[in-house]
Amino acid sequence: MTRILTASGWSVLAVLVVLFGALRLGEASGGMSRWLRWYGDDLLFMPLVLTAALFAHRLGGAGASWVLPVRQGLAAAVVVGALFEGVLPSLAGHGTADPVDLVAYLAGWVFFQALLNRPAPDATPCGPGRSCRSSGKFTKPETAFQET
C-alpha cells in the first residue's frame, strides 16, 4: 500500500479535523469568538480539501513521492475564494463577500504547503526519464504502457 502522508502529516491532519469539528460544535452552541466563527472554517477549508486532492492522486497511482504542485494549490485557493466570496454571494442574493476570507483561504493553502504537502519519507522519487506506477515500482517511459 502506498504511504499517503508522512507520520507528522497524519498528526497535523488529525488536529485539523478535530479543530474543524470543534468549530462546528462551537458554532452550534454559540460559545465561540466571532473571529473564529467568521474565519475559522475558511482557514481550515483549504488544507482539508487540498489534502483530499493529495490522497486522491496518491491512491490513483501517483505514488508516495508525488506532491501537489504549488501552482495548482494556489490556483485552487484563488478559485475557491472567487467562487465563495464573489460568484456565489452575488448569485444567491444573500451572504457576504468578505475579502478577509480570501486571506484565510490563502493562509490555509500556505499551511498545507508548509506542513502537509510532503512526500512520504520512504518514497523513491520519480525523476526525469522515469514514470511512477501505482505499484510503486519504476519503469522507463517507453515501456510504461506495456503489459507486464
Give 57-111 pLDDT, tens digit per residue. Answer: 888 878 778 888 999 999 999 999 999 888 888 887 777 778 888 999 999 999 9
**Phi, psi (rounded to 5 degrees) for 132:** -85, 140
How much helix, strand and coil, in percent to the nearest 5, is found in the chain? Answer: 65, 5, 35
9 pLDDT exceeds 80?
Answer: no
Neighbours of 23 (CB within 10 A): 17
Q: What is the pTM of this model?
A: 0.71
Using only C-alpha atoms, what is the Rg of the chain?
19
The answer to whether 113 and 69 have CB atoms below 8 angstroms apart is no
Neighbours of 93 (CB within 10 A): 6
Predicted local distance difference test score (pLDDT) of residue 125: 61
The answer to whether 100 and 39 have CB atoms below 8 angstroms apart is yes
Question: For the chain, what is the mean pLDDT?
Answer: 77
Query: 88 or 53: which carries more pLDDT confidence?
Result: 53
